[in-house]
Structure 1
Amino acid sequence: MKKLLLTAAFALCTTVLQASEDIADQYPASPLYSKPVEVIPNVFSAIGATAPPTYENSGHNNNLSFIITGQGVVVINGGGAYVLAKALHEEIKQVTDQPVKLVFNENGQGHAMLGNSYWAEQGVKIVAHSEAAAEFEEYGQQSLANMKRLNKEKAKGTTLVGPTETFDEDYKVTMGSFEIEARYLGPAHSPGDIVVWLPKQSMVISGDVAFHERMLPIFEHTMTADWLETWDNEFEKLNATYVIPGHGHPTNMAQVRRYTKGYLEYLRGKIGEHLENDGTLADAYYVDQSPYKNLDTFDELATKNAGRVYEQMEFE
């Protein structure tokens, strides 16, 4: 019966809601892009826009999740600004009177850590991988400046606050009825990417290790071969029933495999063929990526991704 209830809740969440980068704001009553939904019992997520960050979505274009454990609330992602973290906390207070006791930052990017300034004011412990903390220390000022330019007056209150505690391999906590395991599986999208694994529920809150509904961006430091190795050797072993990805609606392993591992393999295959034919970087930008043109942010990212993969594979 419990399994049926979980399946029903998950199906409702994944079929009723649709992602679209054409919708500027799905929740005008809040700075959040969308109102948190209960994905499985006591695990909620405010699904961010699948578009790039904008003033209209307040920079909320990743997923902000929380777990009501029975002995406190665990939040996954500090949020991209003070205003977003505060808005998420207001939503948490609407469904429970349990205090927020712990915040995990999924990586060192601004959308994961800039909201730490709010949580620090609340006296909440903030945990991240050591590499993510180093990344935020190095590039946080740049992330803050970008967010202020984007959010204008909505940037008020946001300051640079890193995690209060870091780890290298895993960070495990038992709280109420939940066993919660923050794990570093290996190199993925950006330095210090972690997943939050709930073994009893067979759910992974994947952060940017896995994408859904929008094209993943490949940064200069995103080593695609390493990401695929992490996926095959570690992420697949979780064999999760439920996945809350870093971007896009909650789904299952098959879907994130298709749009993360599948896309990386496809693009590397195309660039490999291009290199074998002595293709140039200038032409690499235009390799065929049409099987993924349905993904949001395709227009913004496809050519950039191809160029960066070319630069990587040229020296592999």
Structure 2
Amino acid sequence: MFRIIQRLVPVAALAVAASAAVASEDIPDKYPQSPLYDKPVQVTDRVWSAIGATAPPTYENQGHNNNLSFIVTDDGVVVINGAASTALARALHDEIRAITDQPVKLVINENGQGHAMLGNGYWREQGVKIVAHEDAAAEFADSAPQALESLQNYAREGAEGTVIVAPDETFTDRYDASMGGVTIEVLHLGPAHSPGDTQVWLPDDKTLIAGDIAFHERMLPLFNDTCTSCWIETWDNALVPLGAEIVIPGHGHPTDMETVQLYTRDYLLDLREKIGAHIEDGGDLAGAYYVDQSRWQDLDTFDELATKNAGLVFAEMEFE
């Protein structure tokens, strides 16, 4: 039997905590002796995650602002996310070696963003196979030079040794990563946050390493090509039916489905409702930036993202 190691924080407790929180980009590093923002924590008997900062990438967090997870089996380790740099990938590998003697046999990139794939070069040097969704691989091929330049600008010496390395193999809908008697399903449930969003599902444990389809503790960012209506549809029709009990989101601490639904799907629904009403009233793009999002103002990165998200949803909904 598996068991939950980390206590999950319920929605009610989070609401109380959020009322006293102040959203800020200035979030201190929790693990200064390592390039990692924080030391990996054990979530279940076989799943660990190094929880990233709920802030933009900075010199202090070295781009570790997403969750770097791994699954320990009796026949090897599966890592979810190549990390934002060679330095971060190496630091994560050091932590894995301190936990288990099992070798890392597979790396899964959860999307095509730099903090999921720029560490691939380190894993390639270790002879580890790297897998990603075909759309994530295509996005990385287009955006990797800019992502690497950004890393070099904020991480400075922390970017040394980082090179652009594409995944070894891609998949379309699902990939079987089962290992050591553990069923590990790598899924693309549908369009959500960014092209090729990938979820890693452990059905026997009802544990979902959700990637950026799910957010917690920080405001989610939207991109020019994000389809928010598609994201909600994927959530309702494909994610919820999995029946996950433990969720490691792309950003924020492990929790449950109720909590990530509040900060992801419910946020998207609320913003779309506000923008829809604004459009019905004849409002324009300039006014859309100021629709009321105060319900979410205690989330980290609110100040950086709220108005941008509103503008992107207006552009999406204006001709729906």
Q: Distance in 1 between matches of 2:117 and 2:140?
A: 8
Letter in 1 for 2:308: K
Q: 1:264 to 1:13 in 2, by over 3 A?
A: closer
Q: Which of 3, 6, 11 is the aligned partner of 1:10?
A: 6
The two structures have a TM-score, normalised by structure 2, of 0.94
Deviation at 1:11, TM superposition (A): 1.1
Q: Which residue pairs with 1:246 in the alignment? A: 250
Q: Distance in 2 between matches of 1:174 and 1:300?
A: 39
Q: Distance in 2 between matches of 1:129 and 1:190?
A: 11
Q: Which residue pairs with 1:169 in the alignment? A: 173
Higher relative contact order (CA 8 A, sep 6+): 2
Q: Which residue pairs with 2:37 in the alignment? A: 33
Query: Is the counterpart of residue 120 in structure 1 residue 116 in structure 2?
Result: no
Q: Is the 8 A contact 2:8 2:254 kept in 1?
A: no
Aligned pairs for 1:135-150 within 5 A:
135-150=139-154
Q: Which residue pairs with 1:156 in the alignment? A: 160
Taking only the aligned residue pairs, the percentage that are identical comes to 62
User: Greater shift after overlay, 56-65 or 167-176?
Assistant: 167-176
Deviation at 1:10, TM superposition (A): 3.0
Q: Is the 8 A contact 2:210 2:247 kept in 1?
A: yes
Query: Is the counterpart of residue 186 in structure 1 residue 190 in structure 2?
Result: yes
Q: Is the 8 A contact 1:21 1:296 kept in 2?
A: yes
Query: Is the counterpart of residue 77 in structure 1 residue 81 in structure 2?
Result: yes
Query: Is the counterpart of residue 97 in structure 1 residue 97 in structure 2?
Result: no
Q: Which residue pairs with 1:291 in the alignment? A: 295
The gaps in structure 2 that reach 5 residues or longer are: none
Query: Is the counterpart of residue 258 in structure 1 residue 254 in structure 2?
Result: no
Q: Which residue pairs with 1:226 in the alignment? A: 230
Q: Which residue pairs with 2:318 in the alignment? A: 314
Deviation at 1:21, TM superposition (A): 5.2
Q: Distance in 1 between matches of 2:81 and 2:264?
A: 20
**SS in structure 2 opposite 1:144?**
helix
Deviation at 1:174, TM superposition (A): 2.0
Q: Distance in 2 between matches of 1:110 and 1:173?
A: 23
**SS in structure 1 opposite 2:230?**
helix
Aligned pairs for 1:191-210 within 5 A:
191-210=195-214
The two structures have a TM-score, normalised by structure 1, of 0.95
| Alignment coverage as a number of residue pairs | 311
